[in-house]
Amino acid sequence: MSWFYPQPIHARRLIPTTRVAAGAKTSLGFGYQFNSLESGGQDEAELSTVFRSLFHSPNANVYQTVQVAQAMFPVLRYVPLPGWQIIRLAQTKLRAIGQRLLQKSQRESAAAAGEKDLGKGRDLLALLVKANMSGDLPASQRLSDDEVISQIPTFFFAGHETTSTALSWALHALSQHPDVHDKLRQELLSLPTDHPTMDELNALPFLENFIRESMRLYAPVVFNQRMANRDDVLPLAKPYVDRQGVSHDTLPIRKGQVFTVPILAINTDKQTWAEDALEFKPGRWDDLPEAVHSVPGVWANQLTFFAGSHNCIGFRFSIVEQKAILFSLLRAFEFSPGAAVIGPIISNVLQRPVSFEPGTAGLVSTGKFPVMLREYTAQ
């Protein structure tokens, strides 16, 4: 029997993309069962409590703003800004969890020394511990316990919110473009399994195009910043004219200068991507303009995962994670718009899809992303 939600459903309530992404990272990252889709689980009492307090409490935006401000202006770490006690408590709990996870992984690695079963201990933390305990590794290159522990919150928090936001935008794109919605489902249904391998997902061309277009047009992180570690000269693609009327084709850079890289602006530049750069067209990836190939992104000639040696270390994980979740969702459900006006709202460096309603001063954000959802039944 099929079912249908007659009212728009808040996408993150019905399909908790943030918690799904978090569960994937804790399991594959360090073998920790987050129980993210269950309530009241034993493990949830620790990591999930920290997770909810930082990202899903009424003051979550305040906490995130404080952390961004402290990262940009380190002196603020010594100022008792709003939420600093919650942040400090979360850091303490995360460190305690990290110590237990590390000790557990070290015991398991020592016990498994010499075993040939490569199927055991394949999470990232286990692999890091094994490499760090290797007898071939010089002592000068070994990580201290503190350095290993610091990788746990880095891996967990660095990508879960961005990946979940990317999934929300993907659902938005599906609901707004029925032709894309149906074409992608047919490709996903062509796989004769409910549990595809990573290679099978990566071999689906339209799914690849869909992810690339969604990440280009709806880049979760809209800008990034970098600090120059030495004086240099930056060559410019186009010259500029200063206030004295002098033309320059280079830009002098001072050590310590901070630069903002406009990721979304570059991803949607019409001179690079053509006049339809602001339109959602997965088919564009079959015939890209020549100018696109000059964009030095680490993935798909876009800056969504940034570029250079300090790009997003988990971008391949994020892409496969999105493909796997969309594979399951689109084979089971049909999506359609749940609100008349849906657009982006930017919080810190992230842009999220939300609905807008008429207010006294114009359109007002509801803070929610509603979609219409129906069970898919093959005709």
> Which pLDDT does position 19 carry in this prediction?
56
Q: Is the pLDDT of residue 158 over 90?
A: no
Co-location of 34 and 60 in the same domain: yes
> In sequence order, what DSSP letters do the residues of 29-85 get, joined into one string?
HHS----TTSSS-TGGGTHHHHHHHHHSSTTHHHHHHHHHHHHH-GGGGGS--TTHH
SS (H, E, C) 335-357: EEECCCCEEEEEECCEEEEEEEE
Alpha helices in the chain (DSSP H): 11-14, 17-30, 47-55, 60-72, 84-111, 124-132, 145-176, 178-189, 198-202, 205-217, 263-267, 270-273, 315-330
Q: Which of 261, 276, 311 represents a domain boundary (last residue)?
A: 261
The residue among 16 and 221 whose pLDDT is bigger is 221
Which tens digit of pLDDT belongs to each residue from 308-334?
A: 888 887 899 889 989 999 999 999 999
Q: Verify that 364 and 232 share a domain, yes or no.
A: no
**Residue 247, strand partner residues:** 241
Query: What's the pLDDT at 265?
Result: 95
- Same-domain pairing of 247 and 147: no
Q: Is residue 349 part of a domain?
A: yes
Separation of alpha carbons 149 and 141, rounded Å: 16
Rounded CA separation 296/262 (Å): 14
Q: List CB contacts of 177: < 8 A, sequence separation 6 or more.
A: 280
pLDDT confidence bin for 17, thresholds 50/70/90: low
Do both 217 and 296 map to the same domain? yes
Residue 1 lies in a domain: no
Residue 86 DSSP SS3: helix
Examine the domain organization and report whether 125 and 241 are in the same domain: no
- The distance of Cα 24 from the centroid of its chain, to the nearest Å, equals 12
In the sheet where 342-347 sits, what is the strand order?
342-347, 350-359, 362-365
pLDDT at 41: 46
In angstroms, rounded to a whole number, what is the distance separating the alpha carbons of residues 275 and 278?
Answer: 8
102, 243: one domain: no
Residues 235, 341, single domain; the answer is: no
Residue 2 falls within a domain, yes or no?
A: no
Contacts of 364 (CB under 8 A, 6+ apart): 356, 357, 358
175 domain-assigned: yes
Instruction: Kindly state whether residues 242 and 166 are assigned to the same domain.
Output: no
Mean pLDDT over residues 155-171, rounded?
A: 80
What are the tokens at 181? 């919605």
For 69-123, the pLDDT digits (tens) are 776 777 777 777 766 777 777 778 778 877 887 888 888 877 776 555 444 567 7
Taken in order 110, 111, 115, 117, is the CA torsion positive or negative? negative
Q: Is residue 178 part of a domain?
A: yes
Q: Is 312 annotated as a binding residue?
A: yes
Q: 251-309, pLDDT tens digit by residue?
A: 999 999 988 899 999 999 999 999 999 999 999 999 999 999 999 999 999 999 999 88
Question: Rounded mean pLDDT of the chain?
Answer: 81
What is the Cα–Cα distance from 238 to 198, expressed in whole angstroms?
A: 41
pLDDT at 266: 96
For 20-56, b where at least 16 C-beta lie within 10 A, e where not — what string? bbbbbbbebbbbbebbbeeeeeeebebbbebbebbbe
* Same domain assignment for residues 177 and 257: no
Helix axes 178-189, 145-176, angle to 10 degrees: 120
Closest CA to 206 of 304, 129, 285, 131: 285
**Domain boundary residue, one of 261, 286, 310:** 261
Residue range 203-213: mean pLDDT, rounded: 98
Which one has a higher pLDDT value, 176 or 93? 176
Domain housing 228: 224-261
| 178-189 helix and 205-217 helix, angle to the nearest 10 degrees | 140
List the structure tokens of 68.
């961004």
Residue 28 has a pLDDT of: 57
Q: How many independent structural domains does the chain possess?
A: 2
Same domain, 104 and 242: no
In a domain, 4, yes or no: no
Are residue 124 and residue 247 in the same domain, yes or no? no
Please check whether residue 3 lies inside any domain of the structure.
no
Q: Are residues 253 and 303 in the same domain?
A: no
Q: In whole angstroms, how far apart are CA 326 and each of 74, 129, 184, 247, 335? A: 39, 32, 10, 49, 12
| Report field, pTM of the whole predicted structure over 0.95 | no
CATH number at residue 334: 1.10.630.10
Query: What would the mean pLDDT of 332-361 be, rounded to a whole number?
Result: 81
- Single out the residue in 238, 261, 284 at which a domain terminates: 261
213-241 confidence digits (pLDDT tens):
999 999 999 998 888 999 999 999 889 99
340 part of a folded domain: yes
